[in-house]
Structure 1
Amino acid sequence: MKKFTIYSGIEPGKKGAGMFIQYFLRQCENNNVFFTLKYIPTPQNSLVKILKKAPFYDSLKNLYYHVYRAISSKNIDVKGKVLIFHPQSLGLDYTKNIIINTTEVFIYIFDNFFFCIKSYNYIPDNNTECLLCINNLAASRQKGCESFPNKIGYEKYLSFIELLKYYNEKITFLVQNQSQEDLIFQMFGRKSKIKTLGMFTGEFSLSVDREPLNIKTEFDFIFHNTLVEAKGILFFIKLCEALPFKTFLIPFKKIEVEKIIGRSLKLKNLVFYPCNWDSGLRDFIRSSKITVVPSLWSSPVEGSLIKSLYYSKNVAVVDIKTSFVSEIPDTICIKLPPSISKSVDLLLEHLKDDDDLNLNAKKWVIQYCENSKNNIVQFLKS
């Protein structure tokens, strides 16, 4: 029987990454893979909402994770195979100790922290990815980049990357897609061990049938992504500003969006309606003409994109060559250039033609998810 000790900086079941971890653990159980799970619990949403209003929120957050890491770091199982999820949240010192003291390590790659201290390798204002640190890690310091989601010093980050290179022979990187595999090879060399698992969370049933729609409101465009600059919120707002006669929906609070972009918004064609997947977002995506998932970094398989392709009439993405988008057929989504003006022209063309790419997109998503499920099972059985 295969056995793992699993260390995770993200609590299973919490948000996108946590949903994948939860699905992975369920597959371990289904395939008779024994595992011991050690993770850092995510603070409850209600508590986070209260503390976010406090001026010392960031300090409290850092203290919380520091204490948990200090407790957890004394409990490392040095026997057998180890699987690590999200080392930057788990803690770099803790992760380093795990890697040093175990013989076989698997690291599942959620984002690009393995070469970008910000995790999301994005150049503000360029609407494109940044690859400077692939060849020169010191570029992050020169550019003044700050770590995300947790505060990590440059020296600690550089030391962690050097450790990954030093122990490269006993590390296997578990990646989501081909572009991510290519970036790993560029960073750690062609001898790196890599297995492609994909990304599937099991959040929805796979069927080509369309369910009845219970909502009558139809927007021209809806934003579907995490509220982070690298995931294209400003790009979406600029589209809104360039298309004053089209309707736009952002499923977040106005004040949250303004905080991210650093300015106030007074657009008559833009509606802010805070909602999550189960409280209206899914129906808004199904009813809107085009769902925009405008990530501007070398993003792997984003859950928002998979769900949008499955449920939306049409999906628009920014064509980043080193992202998962480059592996998606042009026939099932609208691939936008970094230029806002050119993107506007392309979107208007699709609205005029009254396109509906959903059926082909849904079939593609079903096949992708089935492949991902099979890859995970094969890995667990190997």
Structure 2
Amino acid sequence: MSLTVSDMHTRAKYLISGIGPGSSSGVGRLMQFLVPEYISNGFVVLNPSPQKSLRTYLSSKQYIQLSYELVIRFFDYILFVFRCLAVFRRDILLLHPQTIGYPLFIYLVLFNNPTVYLMDNSFFCIRSYNYHPIRKTECLDCLQSFKPDSSCFPFPNRTPRWLNIAYLQIFKLLSFRIHFQAQTKLQAELVCTHFGKSSSVSVVGLPYVEEIFRQPPPQYLVGQTESFDIVFHGASTGPKGFFYAIELAEYLPNIKFLIPDHASNVRHLTNSEPPPNVSCIPMTWETGLKNYVASAKLVLHPSLWSAPIEGALIKSSALNPNIATVISSYGYESEISTIVNHIRLSRDVFTASRQLSAYFS
């Protein structure tokens, strides 16, 4: 089931998100899909304006443009806040509380009839992605009660730890007022475990999944001279399994891996050269990754958190029948049924390497 106007039973009159359409993030892509539908049905959509990358300005030393962008962001967010404060006793659908800002989010929950669509697990994890930075595994330490490891810090906003925890405690206290929309059955189970069995929650999926499966197969790209044994399809971050993939490649020297990122960034993240069997080619889905995923012997999606529906996993399974994920307790990888040949790898990288050795033998 997709998140549509009918799923809201026409209750929502406002769609409010801390990230607008056009962003490359998952929230941005979702908003790109939802906004036209909701506006056409008479809903008011509130979100900050699209933002330019600060990293681009920093890397090119464009400090004046950087300062200008920061000023624009500040006043744009102030305008967003004032527009939200005018929403009172209305039916509202909220996306991404972290970027809405928790004080504003709490106000909207207190004085309106709120539905919250869950993009991640920020309702119990200050990191949003419940990945333990030391154990490097799916983490449920803060489910029911907040006791984050000293190595955990709020993401994506740089809120002080104690303040973010305080916001989440208030969020929990107010949860009886909220109807939650989860992407998967297991995410709904997390909601009930954290907020209580009486929580109001429905499973609505991810709206643009059907669109992914209607995409035409990729055409061979000029410049694509080879295919790879394993293509890593994910961001170069711990929760997405980037370090897991690199370590896996070290255990499998005769297997050719593709990492869709700059070699310089891989070196920066790992403090070492990529293994010789790893090719680092920067690309996006649109600029070549789609083709490499389709031609790979195996596509690797080693998310190490309780990931709900991930667009990357859906896109890969639509083009390639051979997908490997890492076993999780609450991730969508344990629910998905569209993968023809689904290899669920051990959380232990060495054991996973033995599984893949057997697969390629």
- Given the two structures, how large is their TM-score scaled by the length of structure 1? 0.82
Quote the Cα distance in structure 1 between the aligned partners of 2:216 and 2:35.
29
User: Cα distance, 1:2 vs. partner?
Assistant: 4.9
Does the aligned pair in 2 maintain the 1:2–1:33 contact within 8 Å? no
Residue of structure 2 aligned with 1:43, choices 24, 30, 51 = 51
User: Cα distance, 1:313 vs. partner?
Assistant: 4.0
TM-align CA RMSD: 2.7
Quote the Cα distance in structure 1 between the aligned partners of 2:182 and 2:60.
37
Aligned match of 2:109: 99
Asked if 1:177 is matched to 2:184, the reply is yes
Amino acid at match of 1:279: T
Residue of structure 1 aligned with 2:201, choices 194, 202, 217 = 194
3-state secondary structure, aligned to 1:43: coil
Residue of structure 2 aligned with 1:124, choices 104, 108, 133 = 133
Aligned match of 1:233: 242
Amino acid at match of 1:178: K
Does the aligned pair in 2 maintain the 1:92–1:156 contact within 8 Å? no
Amino acid at match of 1:245: N
Amino acid at match of 2:250: E
User: Cα distance, 1:235 vs. partner?
Assistant: 0.3
Amino acid at match of 2:243: L
Residue of structure 2 aligned with 1:283, choices 282, 291, 294 = 291
Quote the Cα distance in structure 1 between the aligned partners of 2:72 and 2:92.
25
Gaps of 5+ in 1: 353-382
Does the aligned pair in 1 maintain the 2:220–2:291 contact within 8 Å? yes
Cα deviation per residue 1:169-202 (whole Å; 9 max; x = unaligned)? 3211111001111111111111111121111326
Asked if 1:322 is matched to 2:330, the reply is yes
3-state secondary structure, aligned to 1:283: helix
Does the aligned pair in 1 maintain the 2:124–2:144 contact within 8 Å? no
Asked if 1:295 is matched to 2:294, the reply is no
Structure 2 CA distance for partners of 1:213 and 1:162, relative to 1, 3 Å: same
User: Cα distance, 1:260 vs. partner?
Assistant: 3.1
Asked if 1:22 is matched to 2:32, the reply is yes
Does the aligned pair in 1 maintain the 2:134–2:151 contact within 8 Å? no
Aligned match of 1:73: 81
Gaps of 5+ in 2: 1-9
Q: Return the structure number with greater helix share.
A: 1
Asked if 1:152 is matched to 2:159, the reply is yes
User: Cα distance, 1:120 vs. partner?
Assistant: 1.0
Cα deviation per residue 1:116-150 (whole Å; 9 max; x = unaligned)? 0011111235342111111331x21x523111111
Does the aligned pair in 2 maintain the 1:127–1:338 contact within 8 Å? no
Query: Which stretch has the larger CA shift, 328-337 or 11-20?
Result: 328-337
User: Cα distance, 1:67 vs. partner?
Assistant: 4.5
Asked if 1:89 is matched to 2:99, the reply is yes
> 1:306-317 alignment to 2 at 5 Å?
306-317=314-325
Aligned match of 1:378: none
Structure 2 CA distance for partners of 1:201 and 1:51, relative to 1, 3 Å: farther
Aligned match of 2:3: none
3-state secondary structure, aligned to 1:321: coil
Query: Which stretch has the larger CA shift, 178-187 or 142-151?
Result: 142-151
Structure 2 CA distance for partners of 1:203 and 1:186, relative to 1, 3 Å: closer
Does the aligned pair in 2 maintain the 1:13–1:20 contact within 8 Å? no
Aligned match of 1:115: 124
Structure 2 CA distance for partners of 1:19 and 1:257, relative to 1, 3 Å: same
Aligned match of 2:6: none
Asked if 1:253 is matched to 2:253, the reply is no
Does the aligned pair in 1 maintain the 2:232–2:299 contact within 8 Å? yes
Asked if 1:11 is matched to 2:20, the reply is yes
Amino acid at match of 1:255: S
